[in-house]
Structures are given as C-alpha cells and as structure tokens.
Amino acid sequence: MKKLCLLIGLWAMLPSIWAQENQTWQIALPSVISYSASHPLHDWQGDNKSPQGILTTVNDVPQKIAILAQVRDFDSQNENRDAHAMEILHAIKHPQVRFSATTITLSGTHTYKVDGILDFHGIKRPTSLVLNAQKGAKGWQIKGSFPVSLTAHQVERPSFMMVKTKDSINIDFDLLFLEKN
C-alpha cells in the first residue's frame, strides 16, 4: 500500500517537474533601433523609437524573437536626408524592416548567438548577431549590434559630391520587453 501511495504521489508530481514556463514579452518604451552610416565627409545616425516585437522565453531562457521597424520612423535629425532615405529605400513598396530569429544559443553569461532572417528592402538574407539579454524587475533588456550591407540588400548607396557612402551600415538596438498580457 505504501508503494502504491508513493507511486501515485510521484505520478502526480511529474507534470510539474516536466512543465515548462512559457512567457511572451512585447517591446515597450523606451526602446530604440538605430542605424549608423558613414561618408568620407561625415557620419550620421538615425533612430527609430517605436519598434515593435515579440520575445518568447521558456524557463527564463530566450527562445524566439521577432522585430519590426517602420522605415518612416527612422529620424536622423535632418528632414532632407530622411526624405532621400525614404526614396532610395523605396519605403512605399518596402515600408518595414523585419528580423526573426531561427535559433538562439546561449554563448556566455547573458550573451546569446542569434541566427535569423533580416528582411530589408524586400531582400531576405540570413543574419547572425550576438546580443546581451538580461531579465530585470521590469522585464527583459536586450542590446546588441550588427552590420548590414546595402548592396547585399540591393539598396543604391547614397552619394554626396559624387562620392558614395560606405556600403556597410551598423544597426544598434536597445530594447525593453515587458510581459504581454
């Protein structure tokens, strides 16, 4: 009888032992995605302070992430430059930049290697990056950066005084994710 009670007790505990706590988080303010571009005569940055995205964790370990940014929301503090960027990026035809992770692997303390797909200017390309993800009292803070080739995404490089900008722009992100209700 004792063995039967022990087996029943263990059987009742198994679901809680195997249960995984899945949580979904969404981007909240303050979050920002920035691009940095360079020309021999000057460098500049554009900020998007209204990105959207979802993070999924299992037992407080990031498993999936998807980010979306509207091209029109990047602000370089120069209206002419932003208008020209909208033209060369064909923002009406390709209004969004998207990234979705295919794999997330822990590579150090709070550091993750992420492989995914970057959809920029209508071109989807595999992209790898390293991010720092830490869970705090408010939610998850995720930071990182990665380079993007304009020509690889079929973007005509802007020129000034007949000199084109560098092909590589850098994307930096500092995102706060709060638990989704």
Neighbours of 123 (CB within 10 A): 12
Instruction: Kindly state whether residue 10 falls inside one of the protein's structural domains.
Output: no
DSSP state of 136: -
The pTM of the full predicted model, rounded to 2 decimals, is 0.86
Give the domain range for residue 72: 21-179
Instruction: Kindly state whether residue 95 falls inside one of the protein's structural domains.
Output: yes
Instruction: Kindly state whether residue 4 falls inside one of the protein's structural domains.
Output: no
> Using CA atoms in the order 61, 64, 69, 75, what is the torsion angle rounded to 10 degrees?
30
* Amino acid 3: pLDDT: 52
Instruction: Kindly state whether residue 111 falls inside one of the protein's structural domains.
Output: yes
Total domain count, the chain = 1
Instruction: Kindly state whether residue 61 falls inside one of the protein's structural domains.
Output: yes
* Amino acid 181: pLDDT: 73
Quick check: 34 pLDDT over 90? yes
**What's the CA gap between 140 and 63, in Å, rounded?**
13
Quick check: 9 pLDDT over 80? no
What's the mean pLDDT when you consider all of the chain?
90
* Amino acid 159: pLDDT: 83
Instruction: Kindly state whether residue 7 falls inside one of the protein's structural domains.
Output: no
Q: What is the pLDDT of residues 70-97, one digit of tens each?
A: 999 999 999 999 999 999 999 999 999 9
Give the domain CATH number at 118.
2.40.128.110
Quick check: 5 pLDDT over 80? no
At position 9, the amino acid (one-letter code) is: G
Instruction: Kindly state whether residue 9 falls inside one of the protein's structural domains.
Output: no
Quick check: 8 pLDDT over 60? no
Contact 140, 25 (CB under 8 A): yes
